[in-house]
Amino acid sequence: MKRLPEPELMEDHAQVKAYAKADFEIPHYQFIERLKLFINKPQFSGTALDLGCGPGDISCRFAKAFPLSKVHAVDGSEAMIDYCKLSTSRELKTRIRFILGMLPDVILPQSGYEIIFCNSLLHHLHDPQGLWQVIKKYSRQGTRVVVMDLLRPDCLESAQKLVKTYALDEPEILKRDFYYSLLAAYTLPEIKKQLTQAGLNFFVEQISDRHVFITGIAP
């Protein structure tokens, strides 16, 4: 099935609220568990970079999983960054800095990060190299990179089936966003091609009926 791009930013307030309130417990929990296994450094005390942080759930989960860490969390949507600032506890806000910025042009406070992670951003990007180039720009030698995203199903019926399976009880706006995100997602071969083009020798693995998990160490 041909890819159908969706708007890059999530700026509509109703959309932001629906996304923030949605039940992502299982995929977000699994994201952090897999990331912890890959990083293998419970005492990590540096600064990590979260690209396309949305309402900040993954940024907060990371900060809790690594209590000595700091996080720079970036999103191009003002509505998302405002939501993060309002909803994150005062304690976590001492360690998480929410930054309004658009990939790939964003200028970040540090020139390099030890850990870079990103969930559900890639499928939003009209030019996927935007993500891989930012990762390359802000990596140092040995930076651990973890990216999770949706995979595009092979037909519209499969996409509809995934929405029914995983978002049946969610509001209509979320079901619609999930459906269009599936249609906008990249396939495994497309992601592998993007990485080859970017010169990144990362490991790409399908981990569920709708998710791809990508890990790598910057050269």
Ligand X SMILES: C[S@@+](CC[C@H](N)C(=O)[O-])C[C@H]1O[C@@H](n2cnc3c(N)ncnc32)[C@H](O)[C@@H]1O
Copy the structure tokens of residue 150.
Answer: 């949706």
Residue 155 to residue 135: CA distance in whole angstroms: 31
* Residue of the chain from 1, 6, 9, 12 that contacts ligand X (CB under 6 A): 9
Give the nearest residue (CB) to ligand X.
54
* Residue of the chain from 49, 60, 80, 151 that contacts ligand X (CB under 6 A): 80
* Residue of the chain from 47, 69, 88, 119 that contacts ligand X (CB under 6 A): 119
Chain positions 35 to 54 lying near ligand X, rule: CB under 6 A, are: 52-54
Which of 21/219 has CB closer to ligand X? Answer: 21
**HEC readout, 92-145:** HHCCEEEEECCCCCCCCCCCCEEEEEEECCHHHCCCCHHHHHHHHHCEEEEEEE
From 6-14, 35-43, 136-144, 191-199, give the range in contact with ligand X by CB under 6 A: 6-14
From 4-12, 83-91, 107-115, 211-219, give the range in contact with ligand X by CB under 6 A: 4-12
Binding status of residue 124 toward ligand X by CB under 6 A: yes
Quick one: which H or E segment has residue 129? helix 129-137
Residue 78 to residue 155: CA distance in whole angstroms: 34
| CB neighbour list of residue 130: distance below 8 Å, 6 or more residues apart | 103, 104
Binding status of residue 216 toward ligand X by CB under 6 A: no
Q: What is the DSSP letter of 128?
A: T
Contact residues: ligand X, CB under 6 A: 8-10, 52-54, 57-58, 75-77, 80, 102-103, 119-121, 124-125
